[in-house]
Amino acid sequence: MQSVSPRGSLQLGDLPATRWERARAAVPASTLWSAVLVFALAVTIARSTSAAYWVPSGIDGIPFVALGAAVLMALLALTRLPSWLCVAAGVAGGLVVATIATAPEFRAQHPLDPTGAGLVQVWIIRVFEGSAFGDQAFVGLVITLLMWITGGWLAWCVVRWRQPLIGLIPGAAAFTTNVLNTPNQQGYTFIFLALTLGLLLWTTYTASVAKAVAARIKMTGDARWDFWETGLVATAALLVIGIMLPPMSTIDRTASMESSLFTKWAQIQSKLNQVGIQGNGTIPGRVSTGFGVTVSMGPRLSQSTTPVFNYAVTAGPYPGPYYFRGVNDTLTTVVDGKPTWTYGTNDHTQPIAANDSPTFAAQYKWMALATFTVNMLLPPGSGSGDIYFYPGQFYSIDKPAVAHETQVPPVFTFATQLVTIDRLAAAPPSFTTKGQYNVTVSYPDVTTDELRAAGTDYGDWLAPYSSMPADGYRPPAAMRFIHDLALSITAGANNPYDKASAIEAYLRDRNRFTYTLTPKQPPDGTDPMLYFLNSSHEGYCQYFAMAMGEMLRSLGIPTRLVNGYGAGSYDDIQHRQVVRDEDAHVWVESYFPGYGWIPFEPTNDGVAYANTIQRASSRSVLCFTDNHCTVPSPIQAVTSPVVKPSTRPKDPGASDQPIGANQNRFRWLDSTMITRIAGVLGALLLLLIGLGARYLRPRTVMGVWRRVLVLARMAGAELQSGETPSELEKRLGRAFPEAAPHLHSLTDAFVVAAYAPPEMAQSTKPSVMEAWASLRPMMVRRVLSRVRPGRS
């Protein structure tokens, strides 16, 4: 009869454990720890890439892709299959996983694409044409495949070839690109450095041990301790150097170094003329932030963090707001069935020589000057790459430029003089603003009382700015609602400034309106402005700016919208104020006789630079054109005038708090400081471990005996008064039975060394050291088991 007892032959419950034990026994401990470090590195690089936000739709799943590739290739590396077959299986698996992971994005972005072989043919054509590299779905596919290669190649090189440096090449390249182009990567940098150094140290150690075993060389215990002691100290030093040293450059050089493929990848240049439109623009709700030359109440947006430019104030001062003008939108019309503010249909141009100031038809009072140095990294696409961006009003630039004006007055009124500049563009033949330029701007240092007293003596040339189209722009009911609401809001205000301020305050009231990139869309047949003001009460900057602009124009107040960028955020890596696609912004300007165009901010998004614009309360001592001052005073570069919290994903310990206008101010607990603290603490921990290793490797026989007594006391065995070494050895042998033979050998040798003649005592040192090398790990384990009772 077959036994079914627990000790019988049918022990089914033990089969999984037996298989696991066999599998575990088949994998050496050195390989297992190498694999753990590889998995952690792959996930770190992938999470850094995800936080870099290369694709607006997000690639949050790539850490799982990198980890899956690392696990698969590590398992294949442990088999006896041919290398070419394992690598081919890894490549095929990467293509399948990347395709599956990005298929929803491809379907959303390209619903009209064919399927099957036709789809492959279409994308081959797009790749050769170059258009694929600006498509966010394709870029997502490439990044996902790169993360698969990063994890898989690293695991293969470490587990099969024992070559971690070769395995780190693709991952290090991807990680470097993230660090150079994305702020707040300090936490990932620290983790990457620690894991990389740990992997290199561990693989070097295991390789050395394997070579010694193959050569039948017996390694002493101190040889291992020497290696780890030196390695830990070197790792600590490299961590401190890597974290504490300043960057070699504060300018991102990748845009000029990368090939055109990777430049297009970094740019994600699929922006259309609408602000925020990205991709092919055919799918509602699949668009992202970015600069455009028109303003309409568009669909939902996602954020893009592609860097555009960085800047510093080099002469001034400049009190703000730090809004960088790109294009003035002055004409209200209908584009693709949507009410839209556009740049205008007329285009009067006037060349401007480098460092020259154009002649304007009207001269305004109390115009102060400031100079900005702008480093244009990646100019906007879609025909906007020639635009110079600058705050305030234009005064001069150190490059040849062309001024564009759209609402052109009758030529006999102002002759060749400019009334305003609606767009400042690069002069031919360059047609690009990429690189550095210095622009001097003017701004009105005017008080609220002066604006209230400015009056309404508008010239005839302002008529197009002061009214709405009689018909064809919005339904009559919507136009009446806008005008009646404006009258209601401004009831009691007796001057244009107070009226504009009242409408601004109304729209900024967070109890009435909510800022969001995902506003509710109006039902079919409902005017979007009417729906925004009367029902949804939620939108982003274009919604608020259009609402204020149209209400002011309905009241006869000259108004225009400005398309450009906000102040940006401080970059801890580049130590500059960096402006990105997500900083694209639209604001309002109204005209006040004698003072020109004055900015207003109707958007209240909770971001520091979108606060209500402050006016001067008294006249400052500045460089005024009224006083014939043409060169503002140089100042220390102010690179971070504002604080703008970011909503994009953060790495461990990241922060958006910049250093203030005073560059000497101590920045406490920003991302750089947190990373440096973590780096120093990690280095101190490694140094303490190294010092502990040094302490446990004494050079003399008496030093060995002292360490035995210290470790025995730490393990709970106190030295008793009057106890001889032999009595202590017997008592410790009973307390620590696993160490008894080594304790006996060491004690016998110590007694001879301590009490025998010098000639005989000297000969016992090698035996003492050998016994100590065997006893030391046992005593350390006993100490650790007392500190951590669960540890055996």
> Mean pLDDT, to the nearest integer, of 290-318?
83
Report pLDDT for 120. 86
User: What are the Cα distances from residue 431, in Å, to 327, 402, 518?
Assistant: 16, 10, 35
R_g of the chain computed on alpha carbons: 35
Residue, of 739 and 222, whose pLDDT is higher? 739
CB-based burial, 535-564: b 16+ in 10 Å, e otherwise = ebbebbbbbbbbbbbbbbbbbbbbbbbbbb
Of the ranges 27-41, 223-237, 602-616, which one carries the lowest mean pLDDT score?
A: 223-237
Report pLDDT for 58. 61
Report pLDDT for 3. 40
> Do residues 601 and 613 lie in contact, with contact meaning Cβ atoms separated by under 8 Å?
yes
pLDDT tens for residues 523-563?
A: 988 999 999 999 999 999 999 999 999 999 999 999 999 99
Report pLDDT for 600. 95
CB-based burial, 344-374: b 16+ in 10 Å, e otherwise = beeebeeebeeeebbebeeebebbbbbbbbb
pLDDT tens for residues 714-730?
A: 888 877 787 888 888 88
Q: Does 261 have pLDDT greater than 50?
A: no
Rounded Cα distance, 70 and 79, in Å: 15
Rounded Cα distance, 265 and 174, in Å: 12
- A 10 A CB-CB count for 670 gives 20
> Mean pLDDT, to the nearest integer, of 464-486?
93
Beta bridge partners of 302: 288
> Do residues 261 and 554 lie in contact, with contact meaning Cβ atoms separated by under 8 Å?
no
Rounded Cα distance, 556 and 467, in Å: 6
Residue, of 599 and 50, whose pLDDT is higher? 599
**Does an H or E element contain 373, and which?**
strand 367-376
> Do residues 600 and 587 lie in contact, with contact meaning Cβ atoms separated by under 8 Å?
yes
**Does an H or E element contain 287, and which?**
strand 287-288
> Mean pLDDT, to the nearest integer, of 505-531?
91
pLDDT tens for residues 449-472?
A: 999 999 999 988 899 999 999 888
* Cis before 321 (ω within 30): yes
Rounded Cα distance, 258 and 262, in Å: 6
Q: Does 592 have pLDDT greater than 90?
A: yes
Rounded Cα distance, 414 and 460, in Å: 12
Rounded Cα distance, 776 and 292, in Å: 70
Report pLDDT for 288. 61
Alpha helices (H) in 447-579, listed in sequence order? 448-452, 476-489, 496-508, 528-531, 541-554
Q: Does 604 have pLDDT greater than 90?
A: no
User: What are the Cα distances from residue 160, in Å, to 19, 28, 77, 359, 712?
Assistant: 23, 13, 5, 72, 43
Q: Does 687 have pLDDT greater than 80?
A: no
Residue 186: pLDDT band by 50, 70, 90 thresholds?
confident
Q: pTM value? A: 0.56
Beta bridge partners of 597: 591
User: What are the Cα distances from residue 442, in Å, to 10, 151, 322, 636?
Assistant: 91, 53, 13, 19
In 3D, which of 55, 305, 337 has the Cα closest to residue 185?
Answer: 305
> Do residues 643 and 570 lie in contact, with contact meaning Cβ atoms separated by under 8 Å?
yes
Rounded Cα distance, 548 and 790, in Å: 68
- What the block records as the tokens of 492 is 């009691």
DSSP designation for 662:
S
Could you tell me how many residues make up the chain?
A: 792
Backbone φ and ψ of 97, nearest 5°: -65, -45
pLDDT tens for residues 691-708?
A: 777 778 788 888 888 888
Rounded Cα distance, 413 and 548, in Å: 30
> Mean pLDDT, to the nearest integer, of 681-694?
74
Rounded Cα distance, 392 and 597, in Å: 9
Enumerate residues 6+ apart whose C-beta is below 8 A from 190. 239, 243, 675, 678, 679, 682
* Cis before 317 (ω within 30): yes
pLDDT tens for residues 419-444?
A: 899 999 998 877 788 889 999 999 98
pLDDT tens for residues 128-164?
A: 877 777 677 888 899 999 999 999 999 999 999 888 9
- A 10 A CB-CB count for 199 gives 23
Report pLDDT for 252. 45
Of the ranges 92-106, 374-388, 581-595, 630-644, which one carries the lowest mean pLDDT score?
A: 630-644
Report pLDDT for 624. 76
Residue, of 790 and 103, whose pLDDT is higher? 103
Q: Does 275 have pLDDT greater than 60?
A: no
Side-chain half-sphere exposure of 744, counting CA atoms within 13 A: 8
Enumerate residues 6+ apart whose C-beta is below 8 A from 36. none
Rounded Cα distance, 449 and 492, in Å: 17
DSSP 26-59: HS-HHHHHHHHHHHHHHHHHHHHHHHHT-STT--
> Do residues 495 and 354 lie in contact, with contact meaning Cβ atoms separated by under 8 Å?
no
**Average pLDDT in the chain:** 79
Strand 538-539 and strand 514-515: the pairing is: parallel
Angle 76-77-82 from CA coordinates, rounded to 5°: 80
Report pLDDT for 608. 47
Report pLDDT for 645. 44
> Do residues 383 and 273 lie in contact, with contact meaning Cβ atoms separated by under 8 Å?
yes
